[in-house]
Amino acid sequence: MSKKMSNILISVLFLLLGIVLLIYRTGLESKIKLIVGIAIIVLGVFRIITSLIKNKDEDAKSSSVGDFIVGLILVAFGIVILAVNMAFAIVIGAFFIFAGVRRLLYSLKTFDKNPGWVVAFIIAILIIGMGVFFIIKNDFAIKTVILLVGITLIVLGIQGIIAVLSRKKKNKKVSDKAENASK
């Protein structure tokens, strides 16, 4: 299979998966929790295994201990997501709150250097508010994530198809120019 055909196939699959997510999103909520929980556990186990396999010199020891601890935390986090119904929303909400606080601190830190700091400050407050809202309304968080992933996959699918088709036209123009130049 050619690279062009492979790219089109992947783009069409993204597009179809995005459409399926948008159409059947209400039935996917528990499956998304399961997939995310298992993925986090697998990532944690991978971190633990790599920390145990790493080179045992002094620099690698401190790094491998950190990786081991992060792996344990990830495994615990994954188990909590699988076991506690509201944990998924709390994780999403905490992520938004953390990202919002980081943006808020950055906007306050650079307010004298950055004329757009007010916009960054307002966006940071909105992100923090969204995180709090996700924690309070946990069903909304899951539905929103599924909706955003579906939309993103559709956009990526369309973008991929357009990129492949526009590359074909661009390559034809380049080959025509090269052919005319050689004559």
Encode pLDDT of 150-179 as tens digits.
888 899 889 988 888 887 666 666 566 666
Q: Residue length, the chain?
A: 183
Instruction: List the structure tokens of 147.
Output: 């909706």
The model's pTM: 0.50
Measured CA to CA, the distance from residue 167 to residue 151 in angstroms comes to 24
Mean pLDDT of 39-64: 75
Residue 107 makes CB contacts below 8 A (sequence gap 6+) with: 114, 117, 118, 120, 121, 124
Q: Of 7-21, 46-60, 142-156, give the lowest mean pLDDT range.
A: 46-60
3-state secondary structure of 95: helix
pLDDT of residue 65 exceeding 60, the answer is yes
Measured CA to CA, the distance from residue 120 to residue 128 in angstroms comes to 12
Mean pLDDT of 125-133: 89
**What are the distances in angstroms from CA 17 to CA 21, 23, 34, 117?**
6, 10, 18, 38
Per-residue pLDDT band for 25 (boundaries 50, 70, 90) equals confident
Residue 161 makes CB contacts below 8 A (sequence gap 6+) with: 8, 11, 12, 15
Measured CA to CA, the distance from residue 173 to residue 169 in angstroms comes to 6
Q: At what angle do helices 58-83 and 87-109 cross, to 10 degrees?
A: 130
Mean pLDDT of 124-143: 83
